Structure 1
Amino acid sequence: MYLGTRTDRATSFALLDRFVEAGGTTIDTANCYAFWASGTGHGGQSEELIGDWLRANPGLRERLVLATKVGVEPLDGGGVEGLGAETVRREAERSRERLGVDRIDLYWAHGEDRGTPIEETTEALGALVAGGTVGRIGISNHPTWLVERSRAHALARGLEPASALQLTTSYVAPRPGAAVEGKDHRFGWVSEETIDYLERNEGIELWAYSPLVQGSYDRDDRPFPQAYDHPGTTARLAALTDVARELDVARSQVVLAWLLHRSPQVRPIVGVSSLDQLEPALAAADLALDADTMARLDQPA
């Protein structure tokens, strides 16, 4: 997220180099990253940095899945760009230019736009897939009913339906309905309805942003937001701590492994700013949790 802004160029390149060296294949960004840290009020810096890195490493592109997003880049007069058809087409082209690629492998509708019919957005995204400049479509921070409406419209029109959802989830969860500091997407959370929808619709991936709650599992200086303060969190953190000690790993590593072992599987998106943060995340991908351990984590005493 902060590649090219808070994370300087040399560090950003080192992180990307180590990621692919370790076998990483998917890089997720957005056209709006990171407008709040750029000094200009606009994004694009992350895509530009990734594009520069790709140009400095010829031959890597074919090994990677590049995902980016459209919809919440700020406008000069206030508000955000939204998901109108022309915006989707224009911003896809601009993202490809910044990334220096002919095709975006996975293109996300970043946040819902109640001012634009979802059918219009769906058709614009589908046209990009049909034209070969986008591989497939994802939907982020939308209520489930809008996801289904989009997919049904795409299928009825012979267009590519969304095959991935990106929301936030983690091992612990805030109280239902509680406001969470820093989270402004009303429908940006994985819910029981989300899980039920995925179980009844095969072939849709679930991706999770902010799976480590900004470092709260491991850092005393980053306590969980107040909305997470409830008995369920206490019980789950106790179980998580026990498992982490037994496996001699950090609690955050167990969280990432737990997400990967879930059904439906969750693909965690991890944002890091140093190699010291990246290495444990990479190691978590190989952390095995057996059925008994998963049961202890899923149903803490």
Structure 2
Amino acid sequence: MTSPRVHISDRVPAEVEEAIAASFEIVPSVRDAGGVVTMLTVTVDDAYLEDAGPQLKIVANYAVGVNNIDLEAARRRGVIVSNTPDVLTRATAEIALTLMLSLLRRVTEGDRFVRRQEPWQFSLEFMLGERLEGKTVLIIGSGRIGRETARLVEAFGAVPVLAGRDADLDALLGEADIVSLHVPLTAGTSHLIDGRRLALMKPSAVLINTARGPVVDEAALATALRSGALAGAGLDVYEHEPHVNMRLLGLENVVLAPHLGSATRDTRIAMGMLCVDALKAVLLEGRTPTNVVV
């Protein structure tokens, strides 16, 4: 009896590839596959699914977000879509916290200063930053990652304010010292933070985005930062990723990371194993995986 065929859209950790190979035949084309492991850089739409053919049973998305997948198109074709929740919660929340601390304490700015070999000596007034303690942190998105971020900032003495789906963001934005984004990318959250909402924030406030790039109008953000309407930003994701708005690159009050939210080896392996579990459920056991999206 031949093993079900699985296509992997990009490189995965060796441990994950070995686990897939132990139960499936890995094939180079989605056209030959009953299951596919997709990265968030792969757009799974009608054209992709049409090209894959009727033998495709499951798309195991190697991410918790599924904005790269047309869920309705998958539903129409009876293709199951799974994701990788829970296992990346702590790692992504840690990146949000890291961006906050790096920005407030001017760590990456100081790193650039030292690397330029600027003359300096210790001084009580040199490169002063701010503490996280006492800051009001508005966390937009009250899911797993948002709640974990709230727990972490509270441990540093900050005051977290969780804003769920029905929150009045316009009212809350003006009270926050830090705004941290943790919402999925949907039609309703695209440019959730636009020029109008940036103008509602305190000039002393900072914006953190570890969700998805298009949640923020990046051009409007650059304008706000350059004009002094906003004190700073920490970004792990970008509107046109991997392209970054050129107007952000020269700013000292911005911390930029290359989408590192879930980037620890143990997290990435755990995410991959959830993909393996979903593939086994559908292709070997004929059941719906526990981490099903549609």
Q: TM-score, normalised by structure 2?
A: 0.33
Larger radius of gyration: 2
Greater relative contact order (Cα < 8 A, sep 6+): 2
